[in-house]
Amino acid sequence: MEIAVIGAGYVGLTTAACLAEIGHRVACAESNAEKLSMLEGGGLPFFEPHLDQLVARSRQAGRLSFCPTAQAVERGHAIFICVGTPPLENGEADLSAIEGVAREIAQHARSYRLVIEKSTVPVRTGRQLRKHLGLYNRAGFSYDVASNPEFLREGSAVEDFFHPDRIVVGVENEKAAGILEEIYRPVLNRTFVCPVHSPCRVEGQPPLLVADINSAEIIKHASNSFLAMKISFINLIADLCEAAGADITKVAEGIGLDRRIGSAFLAPGIGFGGFCFPKDLQAFVRIGETLGVDFALLREAEKINLQRIHQFVGRVKKELWVLRGKKIGVWGLAFKPNTDDIRFAPSLAIIRRLLAEGAEVAAYDPQAAGKTKLELPEVRYCDSPYDAANGAEALLILTEWDEFSRADWDRVRTLMDRPVVIDGRNMFSPEEMASRGFEYVGIGRGASAPVPAAH
């Protein structure tokens, strides 16, 4: 099928590359001239595992190309809108880019088009999209509007496309539903060889949920808000564990063994970040206000998340007393592992607080140092985790990269001026770190000694 993808950000570029991988001919449009030039030259504007291989292979096979929006609209019978919807000052989603795409589609399309929202948008956006397509439709072409929310996690977006938990489509008629089902048929039927060598999370065919457009739009915001709420809940329980002398890792394990709850997103730490959860939570609260629904529950989840930064910096100050002039090593800058995304990353907020207190920060991240340097030029960026630990009076772990779990801790101890590890992701065992000669501070690890296993 001839498909257009408008927007070459995380969602757009991943969607375009994966659709091309399963056999479609995809024109991916980008309005930013610098980014478009980079893509045409073979570069990628961000890091995402496996994506470079998919883009290169599909371009070589002639199934993927990059072009301005007008050309993509002219070529694509199905058009995926994947542009940004950043938060406004009041928390609402900025839909100006969506409207701009609607104008371009209306201006350049000449025959039937299925226009598909893939960007995360407030409920009833489909209605507005249909209205604006009609207002500017000078050629009189026919069209349908659909919603196909994305559930791609940064760091595993390619895997998520090929191994989805579900595919959700919001449509107005059977024709639109049939087109979307045809687009995703290779994924639904698993009739292609997945290029990502990882076990499939879904046995058999992943479910295809067909709904009305309003319901599909709500599913995306509701999913992210629920997961954000789950993270804030376990962080609150971690605070209780710390105060009571309990171990959050055991408490979380016990909660997660309940099949109604599950273990996912029950890892306490410095809070959620990235571009999706913070902005989607705010946007959903504003949607509720607009429609007369009080989302006080979600506002409290957001409040708890913001408090994590203050609490973590408090832990650092408790260990070091005075921060001014102290050398502090930081491992991890990206908001999560396997990405270079630092948008709303808790690490940046923590580092800003440390710098404001007069601390000297040396940081290492396998992917995100380049982008962070533009935001925080005062930090010393290191080429290895050991360089960041050298001479430090405390080492902060802010992103759970696998590389850190394989570190030579004997070497780290000899490099540090004071062997203090403050683990914002609970990557390590307090007992193991103590055996290696470290003072270790985790999140919600209040138990004074391990409990022997039952026999």
Rounded to whole angstroms, the Cα distance separating 278 from 281 reads: 5
Cα distances (Å, whole numbers) of residue 284 to 99, 120, 226, 266: 20, 11, 11, 22
Rounded to whole angstroms, the Cα distance separating 246 from 243 reads: 8
Rounded to whole angstroms, the Cα distance separating 398 from 392 reads: 15
Catalytic status, residue 28: no
In three state form, how does the secondary structure of 290-341 look? HCCCCCHHHHHHHHHHHHHHHHHHHHHHHHHCCCCCCEEEEECCCCCCCCCC
Rounded to whole angstroms, the Cα distance separating 134 from 128 reads: 10
Contacts of 429 (CB under 8 A, 6+ apart): none
Q: Which listed residue (28, 67, 82, 276) is catalytic?
A: 276
SS3 362: strand
**Cβ count within 10 A of residue 446:** 16
Rounded to whole angstroms, the Cα distance separating 68 from 89 reads: 30
Sheet with 439-441: list strands edge to edge.
380-381, 360-364, 327-331, 394-397, 420-423, 439-441
Q: How many CA atoms lie within 13 A of 434 on its CB side?
A: 8
Q: Tokens at residue 76, please?
A: 């694509």
In this structure, what are the phi and psi dihedrals at residue 101, rounded to the nearest 5 degrees? Answer: -65, -40
SS3 41: coil
Element (H, E) at 16: helix 10-21
One DSSP character per residue, 254-296 reads HHHTSTTT-STT---SS---TTTHHHHHHHHHHHHHHTT---H
Rounded to whole angstroms, the Cα distance separating 368 from 377 reads: 13
Strands (E), 313-435: 327-331, 360-364, 380-381, 394-397, 420-423
Contacts of 288 (CB under 8 A, 6+ apart): 294, 295, 298
Active site residues: 276
